[in-house]
Chain A
Amino acid sequence: MLYDITIDGKNYRLDLNRVEGRWSCRLDGREVEVEAVLARADVLSLRIGDLAYEVKSERGANDLHLWVGNTRFAVELRDPRSLRGRSRAADDQGPRKITAPMPGKVVRLLVRKGDEVEAGAGVAVVEAMKMQNEIKSPKQGTVQKILVSEGAAVNAGDVLAIVE
């Protein structure tokens, strides 16, 4: 199996095969001696050479994080033969969606359609777990659209507004 993997902006090509229970592994063309036990779902005990690592997998709705010890990595994984997995780089140009970082209730909208906002300016206040949190605009621009109303319940990732 061939994988293209991006971690912290760095790309790796991993060629991973299992023959008769043994892994063979080439990372960016370099042979790596590796052995693994899946201790339970989402927990892999790895030996690379004689060094031991526990790696935990945390799969979100649309992202994947791996923990090696206490270090958390955002991981993008693509099968180079598949068209589906191609990533789109985050772009500061063009419209940006402002999403709810957690489920909650929209208690206040701080802008109206057509308003000019600075980067970091509050756009909406979402309440969850007794805390009110100001959701800020990621960029300077004009509020193009507001997709929620005050009092609305939102889920994590729901688009609140679009700033262009």
Chain B
Amino acid sequence: MFNKILIANRGEIAVRVLRACREMGIAAVVVYSDVDRAALHVRKADEAYPIGAAAASESYLNIPKILDVAKRSGADAVHPGYGFLSENAKFAEACADAGVKFIGPTAVAMDAMGSKTRARQAMEKAGVPFVPGTSHGLESFDEAEKVAAKIGYPVMLKAAAGGGGKGMRLVHAPEQLKSALDAARSEAERSFGDSEVYLEKAIVNPRHIEVQVLADEHGNTVYLGERECSLQRRHQKVLEEAPSPIVDADMRHRMGEVAVRVAKAANYTNAGTVEFLVDQQKNFYFLEMNTRLQVEHPVTELITGLDLVHLQIRIAAGEKLPFTQNDVSIRSHAIECRIYAEDPDNNYFPSPGKITLLQEPSGPGIRIDSGMYEGWNVPIDYDPLLAKLIGYGTDRDQAIARLTRALNEYFVGGINTNIALFRRILRDADFRAGKLDTGFLDRMLKRTEDKPVDPRIAEVAAIAAGMFAALAATASAGNGVAGCGSQAAQDSKWKAASRREALR
């Protein structure tokens, strides 16, 4: 087993990995950028090394600096978390060259999954289902017409060199095909200098469901059930749950088998996730493989009783998986909310700044993986994920009830967060019925919600506003009469204020 692990990340995931290190008796080394000196992962670490400016390229993405810290600290392994260098094959290779174990797959496996065409070729050999279509450029309009008729409308035209929605056209009916093909081709030519366009079946309102896999370095690969990740905004996941409301034991088995085939075809080791699109008939199609620990890994941990970070570390240390596929059982239900520093009332603008007040929920069935604390200044330089709130229960309804209760306890003051968004999602009738797809959130947000304010509550706010002002005035006047309550903290605050006054 390792003696010391370098965590090449920040935020809640750095804290998550740090906790695993503590539980396993492994020393934890962290790195931090100039704006992260006061970050939680630095406060909790055994050793902490500054690695440069706030810009990620100067710090968390800087391979030489991170390897230098590994060397100086004597760390024998590196955990990359997610994001930053976690899916960078060059980093994995550089670690191997430096004699530091990278806790994740090999550079070769990462490369195989990184390139979409190579991944598709490897997966086709392994018999993995793809969205039906042509795997080469369309020769002619005739061919397009034939293929489209065969796989059925609606179809999607996509630029072979494409990305970012350029050169893409959704075609609902045969009479639209000609003009759409011409438009997609000329747009592809203009955008990428390559007019090659292929065609595949358009999956309307798909679900996004992924399967967690774990593979040791001795050829054992298992799947740990699925996660439903259909609730997304701007292609960013917002809420995830496990198991998926639509996946039954048979479908879980079939998806799991495919996911294991994908991992084996790439000689994959450590933790990984195979993403699928699922259509309304519950057909699933391979999308891609994420070669890292996922943000949403806690929901899998809660329904399997396994600790994925512990297992990642054990696998990287050369241990065999301590269980087989038959030992894996799915119990209960877990839902994760990603708490972002953003303002739902203002078009989800990022909302960095100082956290003036933090009240975190607790109680039955609640887990929080957080990177924030009261008094901390959320920097503007990184992803706005502050924390993950996970609710679990014996079934989906209980998980929803606990999560709703916890969201009502959660308070982050001083900055804006999306906490209110989750209250709205959790009381949505379609969400409660498990009717989810990737368009769910956009549709929900288009509907404005009338929230009639109880006038009595507004009166409470008015009275409280006066009380806060009166208490502040008392405190600054320094007469120190503790008129409301007898809290020692409050007394001492007033005493401190009056002392300050007296010293002036």
Contact = CB atoms under 8 A, between A and B. Distances in A.
B356 A128 contact: no
Given A34-B463, A44-B468, A1 B346 contact: no
A99 B357 CA distance: 25
Contacts of A64: 465
Interface stretch (B87-95, B127-135, B479-487): B479-487
B357 A5 contact: no
Interface string B286-302: 00000000000000000
A93 interface: no
A107 interface: no
Interface in B374-395: 380-384
Contacts of B454: 71
Interface in A1-24: 1, 3, 5, 7-8, 10, 12, 14, 16, 18, 20-23
A23 B382 contact: no
Contacts of A21: 481-484
Contacts of A7: 458, 461-462, 465
Question: Interface residue tally of chain A, by bracket?
Answer: 35 or more
Contacts of A77: 465-466, 469
A101 B493 contact: no
Interface string A32-45: 10111111111110
B141 interface: no
Nearest to B343: A101
A116 interface: no
B90 to A, nearest CB: 21
A68 B453 CA distance: 11
Contacts of B423: 70
A32 to B, nearest CB: 7
Contacts of B487: 37-40
Contacts of B458: 7-8, 10, 73
Interface in A101-133: 101-104, 128-131, 133
Contacts of A68: 457, 460-461, 464
A100 to B, nearest CB: 9
Nearest to A133: B349
Contacts of A16: 463, 466-467, 470
B467 A129 contact: no
Contact of B462 (A27, A38, A44): A27
A37 B420 CA distance: 26
B384 A37 contact: no
Contact of B490 (A35, A38, A133): A38
B369 to A, nearest CB: 19
Contacts of A156: 353
Contacts of B473: 1
A58 B350 CA distance: 18
B483 A46 contact: no
Counting chain B CB atoms within 10 Å of each CB, the highest count among A5, A102, A104 belongs to A102
A36 B484 contact: yes
Contact of A57 (B352, B359, B468): B468
Nearest to B378: A129
A159 interface: no
Contacts of B351: 102
A149 B235 CA distance: 31
B448 interface: no
A66 interface: yes
Given A43-B357, A44-B467, A23 B462 contact: no
A130 B414 contact: no
A75 interface: yes
B39 to A, nearest CB: 15
B352 A12 contact: no
B474 to A, nearest CB: 8
Contacts of B471: 38
Nearest to B234: A131
A58 B353 CA distance: 13
A53 to B, nearest CB: 5
Given A16-B470, A36-B467, 8 more contacts: A1-B470, A7-B461, A12-B462, A18-B470, A23-B483, A55-B461, A131-B349, A133-B347
8 contacts: A40-B490, A41-B357, A55-B464, A57-B413, A57-B468, A73-B461, A101-B346, A133-B350
Interface of B: 341, 343, 346-347, 349-353, 356-357, 359, 380-384, 408, 411, 413-414, 420, 423, 453-454, 457-471, 473-474, 481-485, 487, 489-490, 493
